[in-house]
Amino acid sequence: MRKPLPGGYQSTGVFEWNGRVTMPAPTAGDGTEQALTVSMRTQRPGGSDGSGRGSGSTREAVLRLGPAGWLYKDWEGIVYPRDKPKGFDPLPYIADFFDTVEINSSFYGPPVAKTTTSWVRRVKDHHHFRFTAKLWKRFTHERDKAWTRAEVNQVRAGFDVMMDAGKLGAVLLQFPWSFKRTEENREWLGDVVRTFNAYPLVVEVRHTSWLAPEFLSSLEEEGVGFVNIDQPRFHHSIGPSTHVTSHVGYIRVHGRNYKDWFRDKATVEQRYNYLYKPDELEPWVERAKEMATTLGTSDVFVITNNHYKGKAVANALMMKSMLTGERVPAPSGVFAAYGNVVADYVLPTEEMVETGAD
């Protein structure tokens, strides 16, 4: 059993418990501009099941697709023009094509309020757009000692800006394959959930030990989303699924680079160097549509994490096309690099640029 958390954070037991935490009310996007919607029946908060998903009223689930991250040197000349005009800003540029982007940098350190304020301001004209953000790895990967109140406040300072602006669609608690369903790890997860329950949380676990019915039930009871993943399958790795355990549905596709996924010396670029073929993406499009019809779901995020050389952008655009049934605009560099795979799904555009970056 871990020692009490410093700074006033006392562990209250393992995850899969009977107590409840207060989750924020679902905040569905307005569905304007590029947002994809699926008509559905939902349930009013405070229903008889106690999960905030009671009996029903009609609304629309918003399907939001986009890549993980937007600042990569290897995107130059593919996603972004190699010769950029003065004032080029990659964030609103990528928001012209997608309804969401997952913030990767927050995993390595919590963004300060000045940074998140800038992000919000730079997409203010994209009313449909929502960020999702990884939680700092201090809470998911560095588990040798309890965190402090100061570390929690660091996270909140940046995330609260996006939350208050209505631009934070989900906070991702991403745990590694080695994080198995033990009593200690269930306790750790429960502490993290209770600490950050002011945000719409989604949990990514990669080991099959977590696929216990009682774990999924606890997520639903507490309003925490389950992240459905596509990853190279290896000993007890979780496979494709369509679990929806909160008002936020979430899918992450990591690529299928079996050669490098578990190789100790593989770089991040090598692990995520994979371009999905259409027949590999089509089942995930069907899963996303199925998830969007789940009672109580307001948003379904589909994130492509195979980011090396813009492959995540190519695949996210392909999935968007599969959902709409139409070819969609794409950066001309993406078409030039991956035209043999994306040609039936995208239309290359002239370089669209935004100026006025902070």
Q: For residues 79 and 66, is the Cβ–Cβ distance under 8 A?
A: no
Strands (E), the chain: 36-43, 56-67, 100-103, 130-134, 168-174, 201-204, 225-230, 248-253, 299-304, 328-331, 346-349
Name, in order, each residue with C-beta under 8 angstroms of 279's C-beta and a sequence gap of 6 or more.
Answer: none
252 — alpha (psi -120 to 50), left (phi > 0) or beta?
beta
Q: What is the mean pLDDT of residues 286-291?
A: 96
Give the pLDDT score at 25: 37
Closest CA to 16 of 233, 232, 183, 258: 183
Using a 10 angstrom Cβ sphere, with 0-12 exposed, 13-18 middle and 19 or more buried, the burial of residue 10 is exposed
CA 84, CA 350: separation in Å to the nearest integer? 13
Name, in order, each residue with C-beta under 8 angstroms of 218's C-beta and a sequence gap of 6 or more.
Answer: 15, 16, 17
CA 20, CA 15: separation in Å to the nearest integer? 11
Give residue 93's identity as a one-letter amino acid code. Y
Closest CA to 158 of 184, 119, 124: 119
Instruction: List Cβ<8 Å contacts ≥24 apart for 114-122.
Output: 115/158, 116/158, 116/159, 116/161, 116/162, 117/161, 118/358, 119/91, 119/162, 119/167, 120/161, 120/162, 120/165, 120/167, 121/358, 122/89, 122/91, 122/92, 122/357, 122/358
- Quote the DSSP letter at residue 76: B
Q: What is the mean pLDDT of residues 50-74?
A: 73
- pLDDT tens digits, one per residue of 35-49: 565 543 333 333 333
- Quote the DSSP letter at residue 308: G
CA 172, CA 272: separation in Å to the nearest integer? 18
Q: What is the mean pLDDT of residues 218-225?
A: 95
Q: For residues 68 and 328, is the Cβ–Cβ distance under 8 A?
A: no
Torsion of CA 11, 147, 161, 224, to 10 degrees: -40
- pLDDT tens digits, one per residue of 148-175: 999 999 999 999 999 999 999 999 999 9
Residues facing residue 192 across a β-bridge: none
CA 180 to chain centroid: 21
Q: What is the pTM of this model?
A: 0.84
Give the pLDDT score at 231: 81
CA 277, CA 235: separation in Å to the nearest integer? 24
Name, in order, each residue with C-beta under 8 angstroms of 132's C-beta and a sequence gap of 6 or more.
Answer: 100, 101, 102, 103, 168, 169, 170, 171, 172, 202, 250, 301, 303
Give the pLDDT score at 41: 35
Confidence check: pLDDT of 241 > 90 = yes
- pLDDT tens digits, one per residue of 75-98: 999 999 988 889 999 999 999 999
Average pLDDT, the chain: 84
Q: Which residue has the higher pLDDT, 48 or 227?
A: 227
Q: What is the mean pLDDT of residues 129-156?
A: 97
Give the pLDDT score at 234: 77
- pLDDT tens digits, one per residue of 2-28: 334 444 444 545 566 433 333 333 333
Confidence check: pLDDT of 116 > 50 = yes
Name, in order, each residue with C-beta under 8 angstroms of 290's C-beta and a sequence gap of 6 or more.
Answer: 242
